[in-house]
Amino acid sequence: MSVPEDLSLRQATSSDLLFLIQLRRITMYRVVMNHRSWHEDVQRDRVVAHFEFARIIQWRGRDVGLFKVVDAENEVELVQIQILPEFQCKGIGTQLVTKLQEECADAGKPITLCVLHSNPAFALYARLGFEVIGSDSHLHTMRWTPKGPR
């Protein structure tokens, strides 16, 4: 996936695990605690799940987040996007998701994701055209479907 000038993505490696575990705690602790207890082992499992798809978000050369996308045959799953608080509200998430939407539109693939009800990212996804297709007591499942060839 190509990204705008100030942004770059690089493959996560095992040397990034400490950063990613800290990033998860910083960005997700309050959100998760709104729904269930925080368990370090469960959260570490979230970090390492689909690790081969994990990309470190770099903004102006600094590691600022995680972008994890699984590209399957018929759809793309946005598994995780987490950005350090001091780099939020700078358009990074919007740029990454918009670029992903463009690529998925070209491929004719929908994007799915799950987001906790209290996660502020829900507003980003809704603004970018994702629709809720299912919910339970904690999670919304959302889908963005391309409108046709660009």
CATH of the domain at 97: 3.40.630.30
Helix (H, G, I), strand (E, B) or coil at 141: strand
66 is a domain residue: yes
The tens digit of pLDDT for each residue in 6-48 reads 889 999 999 999 999 999 899 887 876 677 777 888 878 888 9
Q: Which of 118, 102, 109, 112 is nearest to 142 (CA)?
A: 112
150 is a domain residue: no
Cβ atoms of 88 and 123 within 8 Å: the answer is no
58 is a domain residue: yes
Q: Where are the beta strands (DSSP E) in 12-150?
A: 54-59, 62-71, 76-83, 111-116, 131-135, 139-144
149 is a domain residue: no
62 is a domain residue: yes
Q: Which has more pLDDT, 118 or 130? A: 130
Cβ atoms of 132 and 84 within 8 Å: the answer is no
- What's the confidence (pLDDT) of residue 80? 93
Give the rounded percent of residues in the chain with a pLDDT score beyond 90: 65
Name which of 23-32, 42-51, 102-111, 125-134 the model is least confident about.
23-32
- What's the confidence (pLDDT) of residue 51? 95
- What's the confidence (pLDDT) of residue 1? 55
67 is a domain residue: yes
Residue 62 has pLDDT above 70, yes or no: yes
Cβ atoms of 143 and 112 within 8 Å: the answer is yes
Q: Which has more pLDDT, 47 or 112? A: 112
| Total domain count, the chain | 1
Domain that holds residue 129: 7-144
- What's the confidence (pLDDT) of residue 95? 93
1 is a domain residue: no
pLDDT band of residue 149 (cuts 50, 70, 90) is low
Quote the CA–CA distance of 95 and 4 in Å, as a whole number.
Answer: 7
43 is a domain residue: yes
The tens digit of pLDDT for each residue in 8-19 reads 999 999 999 999
- What's the confidence (pLDDT) of residue 23? 92
